[in-house]
Amino acid sequence: MSYYEHVIISRPDISTTQVDEMINQLTEKFKALGGKVVRTEYWGLRNLAYRINKNRKAHYSFLQLDVSSDALHEIERQHRINEDILRYMSIRTDELAPGPSPILAKREDRKHQRRDTPRDNTKEQN
């Protein structure tokens, strides 16, 4: 078994509940193939760097996997058939990083910065 990080970019016109359902089905497929989904993250509806099939936005999902390469190849084959998935990418890693991914870490940092900075809405009087 090897460790992988797997990112899925899905169509923007499906709902977040449909994306969650798709990820849950994927988790079950990995279990059926003898693998394990260690962690999943939903990164949200984000802007694309360039248009993909006339779409400017897409749902991003991130999975950390402990699976065999054969199981991953089978899932990637199913991704190519699925019309809801625009793109996917799998990267083999030596170990899985603990904690949130850099995308979610940035989001949390921004939330903390907003709370910590005082807002002064008064204008200076001359």
pLDDT tens per residue across span 69-112: 999 999 999 999 999 999 999 999 988 878 777 777 776 666 66
Check which CATH number belongs to the domain holding 57 and give it: 3.30.70.60
122 belongs to a structural domain = no
pTM above 0.75, yes or no: yes
Give the span between the Cα atoms of 12 and 69, in whole angstroms.
29
123 belongs to a structural domain = no
Residue 105 confidence (pLDDT): 74
60 belongs to a structural domain = yes
Mean pLDDT of the chain: 86
pLDDT tens per residue across span 1-40: 889 999 999 999 999 999 999 999 999 999 999 999 999 9
Give the span between the Cα atoms of 102 and 50, in whole angstroms.
21
Q: Count Cα atoms within 13 angstroms, Cβ side, for 74.
A: 13
Q: Which domain holds residue 49?
A: 2-115
90 belongs to a structural domain = yes
126 belongs to a structural domain = no
93 belongs to a structural domain = yes
Look up residue 72 and give its two tokens: 């991953």
